[in-house]
Amino acid sequence: MTSTTHHETQIVSDPDVPLVRIVREFDAPVEKVFRAHTDPDLVVQWLGPRGMTMTIDRFDCRSGGSYRYIHGRDGEEFAFHGSFHEVRPNELIVQTFTFEGFPDQVALEKLVLEDIGGGRTRLTATSLVDSFADRDAFVASGMETGVVEGYERLDEVLGGI
Amino acid sequence: MTSTTHHETQIVSDPDVPLVRIVREFDAPVEKVFRAHTDPDLVVQWLGPRGMTMTIDRFDCRSGGSYRYIHGRDGEEFAFHGSFHEVRPNELIVQTFTFEGFPDQVALEKLVLEDIGGGRTRLTATSLVDSFADRDAFVASGMETGVVEGYERLDEVLGGI
């Protein structure tokens, strides 16, 4: 197994609007980071915390497409779905996101990729909801573990493609 | 032409989050109000201010579908597109919304229909963006005229179906 550098993941709750902002750098070019987010065969290898199995119901990652997937662990299942509002190659993915355990809650998510030179990429992911209470409950629910471990797994996927 | 009662349209900018909330009652049951929002042949008859022609590029109003339409007046064209995150018959439509003149701005919109008795419906429509400045610019852009006139036109459509 090759050694992989894991950069720090910044997770910040915006003080003014009910939004969480995640910033993470990757030692891979934007093209690869984008592909790892849009090709379902790659997405299943890294999205979510370690120890989860991910099953894709649908994953049509294009402007106007939609997705649904299930995370499973120890017999428990957690399903998520949403729509891809815009997919702009190597730059931007705007999508909606619902955890089916709270079917009336919807987040608007934006993923922005920037080429920061040297074959490296800065990813900025924001998640916007309509109340601070829901945003804070989401952050307190342990999303940090899933995000940090997911991006460590993504480092490993990027090292192999 | 039959006479139609037009109820007041309330448009309120939320003080805490960058969201606009529109509340409007209609003298028609939720089934008809829902159908007038989801059947493209009806939508083109009322959506937007008077004097605009509406042309639908696509309007696939189901969970996971998408839409695009163009409003035209005096040779000017204004295009809009988005995705339908969830369409729950006679209750709820959650969708994204982008005016293509500002392609990087996206709103998350929720439409809730409530049966308020006597064959009448209360519609609550919210539009959430990620900055107060963008929300306030949207409200200041004259959206009120489009919303108020659009719902007056919707009263007329509902009177005929």
CA distance B148 to A79: 39
Interchain proximity A94–B96, CB inside 8 Å: yes
pLDDT recorded at residue B6 = 86
| Run of H or E including A12 | strand A9-13
**Amino acid symbol at A58:** R
Within 8 A of B85 by CB-CB distance, chain A residues are 82-83, 96, 98, 106
Alpha-carbon distance values, A158 to A7, A32, A111, A151 (Å): 13, 7, 17, 10
Are B86 and A64 inside 8 Å of each other by CB? Answer: no
CA distance A51 to A72: 9
- Which residue in A20, A86, A93, A129 has the most chain B C-beta atoms within 10 A of its own C-beta, making it the best mutation to test that interface? A86
Q: Most A CBs within 10 Å: which of B19, B59, B83, as the mutation test of the A interface?
A: B83
pTM (predicted TM-score): 0.95
Compute φ and ψ for A157, nearest 5 degrees: -60, -45
The answer to whether B86 touches B65, Cβ cutoff 8 Å, is no
**Residue in A16, A19, A96, A112 to test binding to B, most B beta-carbons within 10 Å:** A96
Listed in sequence order, the DSSP H helices in chain B are 30-38, 40-43, 132-138, 144-159
A94 chain-B contacts, CB cut-off 8 A: 96, 106
The predicted structure's pLDDT at residue B1: 46
Q: How far apart are CA B23 and CA B19, in angstroms?
A: 13
A17/B17 Cβ within 8 A: yes
pLDDT at A1: 46
Whats the size of chain B, residue-wise? Answer: 161
The residue-averaged pLDDT of A32-45 equals 98
CA angle, corner A23, sides to A17 and A27, nearest 5?
A: 165
The pLDDT of A8-35, averaged and rounded, is: 97
User: How many contacts (CB atoms, under 8 Å) link A and B?
Assistant: 71
B57: which chain A residues are within 8 Å (Cβ-Cβ)?
A: none
* A82 interaction partners in chain B (CB closer than 8 Å): 85
pLDDT at residue A3 tops 70: no
How far is it, in rounded angstroms, from Cα B85 to Cα A18?
20
Cβ atoms of A9 and A24 closer than 8 Å: yes
The whole-angstrom separation of Cα A25 and Cα A124 is: 9
Q: Which residues from B are below 8 Å from A16, CB to CB?
A: 132
Helix (H, G, I), strand (E, B) or coil at B55: strand
Q: Which of A18, A85, A98 sits opposite B96 (nearest CB)?
A: A85
Give the tokens for residue B112: 């809730």
DSSP lists the bridge partners of residue A113 as A123
B130·A126 Cβ contact <8 A: yes
**Residue A137: both structure tokens together:** 């409950």
pLDDT value, residue B2: 54
What pLDDT is attached to residue B3? Answer: 59
Q: Which residues of B touch A108 (CB under 8 A)?
A: 96, 106, 108, 128, 130
The series of mean pLDDT values per 10 residues for chain B, 161 residues long, is: 77 97 98 98 96 96 98 95 98 97 96 98 98 94 91 97 94
Within 13 A of A148's CA, how many CA atoms are on the CB side? Answer: 10
Least confident of A81-95, A98-112, A135-149: A135-149
Q: For residue B143, what pLDDT is reported?
A: 87
Residues of A with CB under 8 A from a CB of B: 16-19, 58, 63-66, 81-86, 94, 96, 98, 106, 108, 110, 126, 128, 130-132
The radius of gyration of chain B from alpha carbons, rounded to an integer in Å, stands at 15
β-bridge mates for residue B126, sequence order: B21, B110
